[in-house]
């Protein structure tokens, strides 16, 4: 029996691009509001718990996109980034409360400190790694109290607030859940003090188990407990052979020059999590299966989450249950292209998982499906199978 029991499964809104291949414009897909709506509505209809919207200069703004997509969906929750150092906590709290109310309590908060010094400087942040996490801690101490309805006076090293308050509270009490990922000691300390769900990128299970134990121990020092989630890509097909073929195809158009350029960018970052991701493959194509069915090919050119679970439905579900056994209760997934892979995963794997959230019932479908296309205008496929048995 899993230590957690059941899991929430998220999908991903690809606001920084989508397509059939990595590292090339070949097979690329325009990512406009129409397409983003298709992905969000598919995730909503298929029964995903929520969807992550990425943040950074390569992405469309997550708050604007979430505000556009929330009215187009019914149940889907949106995991949206707040950026300590880029936003003042009082303004962020007002934005949070507003979107939480307008979405009827479907907002989740992803606290992102940022690990690329070059991008940070472009955004006006000239702080060291440790200083950024100090800002994150001060920001969260103010932000959390504001969302809980307090009038806040705060005199920190980096942030000062006098008489800060929000007049309109969020729908969720005491506040929308806080998600956060940070692998450094400074990041883990912030999580231990102030975060609800700690996120890790898709490292092998043994490394994830070690990280979970470290974070649990840190939280215990503050008398707190956290829950845990993992960010992964998925490549699932009906057979393992087809899945691995799809993985190879995804990176088939990447040349060595593109890989080297991407790895150079990642090496300049002071993110411990990014360093751990890069170490899994070392920028090399020849040893990409870093753990059974855990493939690091995505990380050759993609920053952040760089690993994918690859295999047939039963195997992918088994690997996910292994993560659940060490304490993971939330999976934030994505796959290329995101619209098609959302369907593949939902139809092939989700029925095999113990889910903590409801999925749509077939009885609610107007044609009483799913049952496939009617055969010869007279028989539903399942009825035909029954007749043949």
pLDDT, tens digit (0-9, with 9 covering 90-100), for 202-236: 999 999 999 999 999 999 999 999 999 999 999 99
Residue 23 resides in a domain:
yes
Distance, first Cα to last Cα, the chain: 35
What CATH number is attached to the domain comprising 211? 3.20.20.30
> In this predicted model, which residue has the larger pLDDT, 23 or 49?
49
> Which residues sit opposite 18 in a β-bridge?
29
The rounded distance, in Å, linking the Cα atoms of 271 and 266 is 9
Residue 283 or residue 55, greater confidence: 55
Q: Per the domain annotation, does 96 fall within a domain?
A: yes
Supply the pLDDT for residue 4.
57
Q: What pLDDT, on the 0 to 100 scale, is given for residue 264? A: 82
Structural domain of 272: 8-358
Q: How confident is the model at residue 262 (pLDDT cuts 50, 70, 90)?
A: confident
The one-character DSSP state at 379 is B
Is 367 within a domain?
Answer: no
| Interval 263-316: pLDDT, tens | 788 777 767 777 787 777 776 788 898 999 999 999 888 877 889 999 999 999
Q: What is the pTM (predicted TM-score) of this model?
A: 0.91
Residue at 101 is within a domain: yes
Q: What is the pLDDT of residue 266?
A: 78
pLDDT score of 387: 42
Could you tell me if residue 3 is inside a domain? Answer: no
Residue 374 DSSP label: P
Answer yes or no: is 112 within a domain.
yes
How many distinct structural domains can be found in the chain?
1
User: Residue 158 above 60 pLDDT?
Assistant: yes
Give the chain's mean pLDDT. 90
Judge whether 253 lies within some domain.
Answer: yes
How far is Cα 194 from Cα 182, in angstroms, rounded to an integer?
13
Distance CA 200, CA 212 (A): 9
Q: Give me the DSSP letters along 37-82.
A: HHHHHHHHHHT-SEEE---STTS--HHHHHHHHGGG-SS-EEEEEE
Residue 118 within any structural domain of the chain: yes
Which two structure tokens, joined as six digits, stand for 76? 């889907």
* Model pLDDT, residue 296: 92
Q: Which helix (H) or strand (E) holds 132?
A: helix 129-147
pLDDT confidence bin for 364, thresholds 50/70/90: very low
Split at pLDDT 50, 70, 90, the class of 368 is low
């Amino acid at each position: 029996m899993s230590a957690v029991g059941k899991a929430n499964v998220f999908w991903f809104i690809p606001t920084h691009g989508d397509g059939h291949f990595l590292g090339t414009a070949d097979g690329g897909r325009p990512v406009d509001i129409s397409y983003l709506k298709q992905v969000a509505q598919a995730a909503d209809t298929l029964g995903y718990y929520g969807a992550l919207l990425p943040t950074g200069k390569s992405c469309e703004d997550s708050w604007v996109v979430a505000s556009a997509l929330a009215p187009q969906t019914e149940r889907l929750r949106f995991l949206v980034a707040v950026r300590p150092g880029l936003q003042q906590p009082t303004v962020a709290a007002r934005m949070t409360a507003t979107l939480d109310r307008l979405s009827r309590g479907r907002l989740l908060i992803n606290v992102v400190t940022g690990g690329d010094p070059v991008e940070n400087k472009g955004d006006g942040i000239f702080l060291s790694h440790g200083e950024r996490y100090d800002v994150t801690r001060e920001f969260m101490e103010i932000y959390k109290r504001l969302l809980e309805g307090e009038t806040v006076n705060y005199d920190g090293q980096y942030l000062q607030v006098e008489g800060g308050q929000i007049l309109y509270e969020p729908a969720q009490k005491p506040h929308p859940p806080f998600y956060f990922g940070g692998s450094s000691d400074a990041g883990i300390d912030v999580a231990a003090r102030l975060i609800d769900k700690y996120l890790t990128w898709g490292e092998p299970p043994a490394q994830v188990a070690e990280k979970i134990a470290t974070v649990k121990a840190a939280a215990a020092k503050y008398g707190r407990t956290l829950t845990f989630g993992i960010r992964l890509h998925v490549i699932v097909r009906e057979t393992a052979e087809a899945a691995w073929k799809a993985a190879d195809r995804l990176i088939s158009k990447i040349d060595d020059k593109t890989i080297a350029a991407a790895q150079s960018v990642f090496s300049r970052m002071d993110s411990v999590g990014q360093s751990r991701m890069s170490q899994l493959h070392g920028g090399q194509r020849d040893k990409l299966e870093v753990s059974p069915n855990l493939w690091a090919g995505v990380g050759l050119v993609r920053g952040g989450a760089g690993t994918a679970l690859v295999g047939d439905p039963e195997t992918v579900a088994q690997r996910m249950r292994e993560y659940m056994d060490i304490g993971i209760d939330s999976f934030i997934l994505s796959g290329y292209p995101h619209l098609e892979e959302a369907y593949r995963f939902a139809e092939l794997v989700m029925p095999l998982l113990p889910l903590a959230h409801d999925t749509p019932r077939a009885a609610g479908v107007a044609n009483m499906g799913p049952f496939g296309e009617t055969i010869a205008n007279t028989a539903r496929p399942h009825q035909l199978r029954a007749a043949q048995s």
